Amino acid sequence: MGFRRVAVYGYRNLQDAAVDTGAEEIFLVGENGQGKTNFLEAVYFLSFGSSFRSAADFLVPRDDGKEFSVRGIFQDSEREIDIALKYQGRKKEIRLDGKQIRDRKELVSNVPCIVFTHGDIDFVAGRPERRRWFINQIMSLFNPLFIDLLRSYNRLIKQKNQVLKEGPASLLDSYDLQIARAGLEIQRRRRETIQDFNRTFSRLFGEISRFSGELTIEYRPSWKAAEDEEHVVRLLASQRGRDLDQGMCTSGPHRDRIRFVHQGNDYVQTASTGQLRLISLVLRVAQSIFFSEKTRKKPVLLLDDVLLELDLERRKRFLASLPAYEQAFFTFLPDEPYREYRKPGTLILQVKSGILTPV
């Protein structure tokens, strides 16, 4: 079923209102700048407790206000959930069925959501940390406990970096052992996940693109030859001089590399912008399918103007490739042929000046 209703208050340019969204598919139709993406972002807040556009929550309140809130009623085959998020005085409070939650990872397991945006091209052609972020999200969706492991590792790296800058150096051996233990576990899980994920991604990309030859994701861990904790500790010790000079830990999972390979070569170096965009779309579809296979749950999909750069045939193949979902929100410009994609139960909402009106 998905979200039956989404209510917003003080949210960007959206009118304060409760919007009925009780349909498997919702088409948000309007010109640019009218509020389509803002509404998708509000739904995303209910799934992750954060925005997919910015980490700065203080930018969300309308007209330089100090607060905003989002509330949604989510229903699947098992239960109904009331999710409420309120931001006030630079503090955020999230309640699940009236009970305040302390960790946003509790939302991920309750309302799984996958968003498709133009910014996803960064997972293909952007900085290495964006590719690592995407792989981490894949893993966190089906195993929220991975979030704890990642947080622990990042905290250790931050603490070690402080010691590298300020001392005392006597603490470094202790940090290296803990970093080796957590880092090897992250490396192991990333390797296994990417190997598993490739089966879905490569097949999908071939079907949608009709591309000649297989495109795969290649994992290049920072600790290439690491065998065990002792090996990594020795490696970190050998790099200590460099780390002290730079004031940071220069190896580990936070420096892993991930690339897209075709016939042994880095495909991103020769691909067109259209091909890069297609890879980013397929990544998200594969992520949705992978999540469903791992959890036996159906995600909520948010698709923000992602069909614009595909030709008609690729649009059809892309839409046909989408997995079973609990609910899907699509955004369209008025002159797009969105009515060709609608189903008998599709809800079409016109979006103009922040007001959503059923058509």
| CATH code of the domain covering residue 34 | 3.40.50.300
Biggest CA-to-CA distance, the chain: 68
Q: Are strands 99-100 and 113-116 parallel, antiparallel or unpaired?
A: unpaired
Same domain as 338, residue 306: yes
Q: Which amino acid is at 182?
A: A
Same domain as 148, residue 276: yes
Question: Which residue ranges make up the annotated binding site?
Answer: 30-37
Same domain as 101, residue 47: yes
Same domain as 334, residue 202: no
Residue 201 lies in a domain: yes
Residue 358 lies in a domain: yes
Residue 254 lies in a domain: yes
* Final residue belonging to a domain, choices 294, 314, 339: 294
Same domain as 182, residue 242: yes
* Final residue belonging to a domain, choices 278, 294, 310: 294
Same domain as 326, residue 208: no
Q: How many domains does the chain have?
A: 2
Same domain as 305, residue 239: no
Same domain as 214, residue 274: yes
pLDDT of the residue at 320: 87
φ and ψ at residue 50, rounded to 5 degrees: -155, 175
Q: Which amino acid is at 185?
A: E
- Tell me: the pLDDT tens digits for 278-298? 999 999 999 999 999 999 999
Same domain as 226, residue 194: yes
Pair of tokens at residue 61: 């309140």
Which CATH number is 137's domain given? 1.20.1050.90
Whether residue 44 contacts residue 327, with contact meaning beta carbons closer than 8 Å, is answered with: no
**Distance (Å, rounded) from C-alpha 281 to C-alpha 308?**
12
Residue 259 lies in a domain: yes
CA-to-CA separations, 339 to 11, 358, 359, in angstroms, rounded: 29, 14, 12
CB atoms within 10 A of CB 88: 14
Same domain as 273, residue 240: yes
- Written in H, E and C, the secondary structure of 15-29 is CCEEEECCCCEEEEE
Residue 304 lies in a domain: yes
Whether residue 152 contacts residue 182, with contact meaning beta carbons closer than 8 Å, is answered with: yes
Whether residue 113 contacts residue 327, with contact meaning beta carbons closer than 8 Å, is answered with: no
Q: CA angle 281-283-287, nearest 5°?
A: 120
Q: Which residues of the chain have pLDDT under 50?
A: none
Pair of tokens at residue 210: 């009709």
Whether residue 148 contacts residue 334, with contact meaning beta carbons closer than 8 Å, is answered with: no
Residue 117 lies in a domain: no
Same domain as 236, residue 105: no
Residue 120 lies in a domain: no
Same domain as 202, residue 83: no
Question: Which residue ranges make up the annotated binding site for ATP?
Answer: 30-37
Burial of residue 166, with CB atoms counted within 10 A of its CB: 0-12 exposed, 13-18 middle, 19 or more buried:
exposed
**Distance (Å, rounded) from C-alpha 242 to C-alpha 222?**
15
**Distance (Å, rounded) from C-alpha 1 to C-alpha 196?**
29
* Final residue belonging to a domain, choices 294, 323, 350: 294
- Note down the domain range covering 351: 1-112+297-359
